[in-house]
Structure 1
């Protein structure tokens, strides 16, 4: 029995919760996974897993062996990575998920730089902002806007992204220029945004000295995607509050006009996250570092 392979299989079974899902992800027959775990238990002389028709749970000995296996596999992976990084550049495919706003406006346009640095890395991007199980979906890392909802991830801060409030000249011509945030409560329409994960409406805030104003108002359109909200703002469908990096080109061109310049919008945290119990391969590590560098460079000076 290959002990390292057995450890890797055991950890994968525990992470995914079933032999079937582990076998599918590893592209091997379920019988092979079952046999390897049985051989591991026989060699150790202990039961590692409680098996029922509905779920798998760790025995006390299984919990100890699971935690130890993660440490051993991480050390082996780090050693292999150190040796490989000294002899060749990162290589292979990585799977990354990120919100559409970051994909379209920041990350994808900058990918030529990444591939110039790491020509042997292939990136498979999934556009979305879901609450996903990275291990179950075989994702290597995610870029996330706002708070992270999972304790099973290691999150690296990539700075913050400020929000700004703006409207198109056509909208202002029809509805007038709001001078203060409170003006939005009467005679104005906002582009409402809601979370693609929870469905709840976002409540945006503006700050000036000790004053705090929550943006409310009537709306005719509600969207759950920042790019759609930007399109709505450009079309004159309402006052838009969104990320500064999305609207900056349109503010410069005059397609949008910034409102309430003496008020400051919220700053939204952005993170790059990856599973806490998975060794970070060099191909993933270089992408994580590159993404953090890119996102921090997008922050206003």
Structure 2
């Protein structure tokens, strides 16, 4: 029977396409990982990887072997992690990726309560608005929206991802009344430029009556951050389209008000993602259940809904 470590070296190398990166995650040297995989190939009498100077590529035999041993390896590792839990409590480093806004404003404030319940868990939280490779990059969970769901990953809904038009009362009092989406053509738009693509996205407005209209707001200025757009709008500089989690504090304080309150942009949902396993690590299960519970108790889905 092949050693557990050899199989683990193979699986991790296949996930990241590199002996060096697999070695970094396993705490080994690249030479040790490559040698372990080579021994596995020699014993099996087949080549598992096509090697190049840039990347490892699985052979057909390698793909079949990965499909057979990958899930079992994860189940065994999760079982060992759960067995090692202190007195049955979830334990270990919890690596999570989450959007900057959602994470900083709404998840981090929950950290104290989470650690009071699960003191043996060590948070390792990463804040990034880009989608991460949950399995390949070794994350236990991720929170975000608008992501493609790769094979082996499941999602639990947290809240709708709505965007709304906001402006200061002072700005609206000094400009023509906006009653319909067509009236936005003459407004001063504070538009968001994607930091990833550098482009200004085209949006479609949806009404409470399920009508649709294009967002025809001319650009007075562009920002790459929704928080900056809210600050600019609060100075009376124009109308901004921002996600509800950003808008909520400004709307509650009265610094901003909604423009066309019966219209919004439906940008999908914000979910919590995690790898689908027969035996989920206790730390991951604890975090997923906690976040779903807290979002429900705090009514965040209702607060972030534009309807």
Shared topology, TM-score over 0.5?
yes
Note the C-alpha offset of 1:213. 1.8
Task: Provide the C-alpha distance between the structure 1 equivalents of 2:22 and 2:286, rounded to a whole number of angstroms.
Answer: 27
Residue 199 (structure 1) aligns with = 198
Are residues 1:255 and 2:242 paired?
A: no
Answer with 128-137 or 160-169: which moved more. 128-137
Note the C-alpha offset of 1:9. 0.9
Q: Give 3-state SS (helix, strand or coil) of 1:236's partner.
A: coil
Matches within 5 A, 1:72-83: 72-81=72-81, 83=83
**Paired residues of 2:184 and 2:216 also in contact (CA < 8 A):** yes
**Paired residues of 1:129 and 1:144 also in contact (CA < 8 A):** yes
Answer with 166-175 or 4-13: which moved more. 166-175
Residue 57 (structure 2) aligns with = 57
Q: Give 3-state SS (helix, strand or coil) of 1:123's partner.
A: strand
Q: Give 3-state SS (helix, strand or coil) of 1:28's partner.
A: coil
Q: 1:242 to 1:269 in 2, by over 3 A?
A: same
Matches within 5 A, 1:81-100: 81=81, 83-84=83-84, 87-100=87-100
Q: 1:157 to 1:277 in 2, by over 3 A?
A: closer
Are residues 1:175 and 2:175 paired?
A: yes
Task: Provide the C-alpha distance between the structure 2 equivalents of 1:278 and 1:238, rounded to a whole number of angstroms.
Answer: 51
Task: Provide the C-alpha distance between the structure 2 equivalents of 1:257 and 1:135, rounded to a whole number of angstroms.
Answer: 41
Answer with 96-105 or 48-57: which moved more. 48-57
Q: What do residues 143-163 of structure 1 show as CA deviations (whole Å, max 9, x unaligned)?
A: 1222x1362561413231333
Note the C-alpha offset of 1:277. 8.5
Note the C-alpha offset of 1:279. 7.5
Q: What do residues 183-239 of structure 1 show as CA deviations (whole Å, max 9, x unaligned)?
A: 1112x1122123333333231413242531222222222123222222222222221
Residue 18 (structure 2) aligns with = 18
Task: Provide the C-alpha distance between the structure 1 equivalents of 2:125 and 2:132, rounded to a whole number of angstroms.
Answer: 14
Task: Provide the C-alpha distance between the structure 2 equivalents of 1:25 and 1:85, rounded to a whole number of angstroms.
Answer: 21
Residue 298 (structure 1) aligns with = 300
Matches within 5 A, 1:25-44: 25-44=25-44
Please tell me the root mean square deviation across aligned C-alpha atoms, in Å: 2.8
Note the C-alpha offset of 1:13. 0.7
Residues matched between the structures, number:
299
Residue 112 (structure 1) aligns with = 112
Q: Give 3-state SS (helix, strand or coil) of 1:198's partner.
A: coil
TM-score normalised over the length of structure 1: 0.86
Task: Provide the C-alpha distance between the structure 1 equivalents of 2:197 and 2:149, rounded to a whole number of angstroms.
Answer: 14
Note the C-alpha offset of 1:267. 5.0
Q: Give 3-state SS (helix, strand or coil) of 1:299's partner.
A: helix
Q: What do residues 229-286 of structure 1 show as CA deviations (whole Å, max 9, x unaligned)?
A: 2222222222122222332332232211122233354253112224568974322232
Task: Provide the C-alpha distance between the structure 2 equivalents of 1:17 and 1:278, rounded to a whole number of angstroms.
Answer: 25
Matches within 5 A, 1:80-229: 80-81=80-81, 83-84=83-84, 87-135=87-135, 137-146=137-146, 148-149=147-148, 151-152=150-151, 154-158=153-157, 159-186=159-186, 188-202=187-201, 203-209=203-209, 211-229=211-229
**Paired residues of 1:101 and 1:246 also in contact (CA < 8 A):** yes
Note the C-alpha offset of 1:73. 1.0
**Paired residues of 2:97 and 2:132 also in contact (CA < 8 A):** no
Note the C-alpha offset of 1:86. 8.7
Task: Provide the C-alpha distance between the structure 1 equivalents of 2:190 and 2:151, rounded to a whole number of angstroms.
Answer: 34
Note the C-alpha offset of 1:164. 2.4
TM-score normalised over the length of structure 2: 0.85
Query: Structure 2: where are the runs of 5+ without partners?
Result: none
**Paired residues of 2:190 and 2:220 also in contact (CA < 8 A):** yes
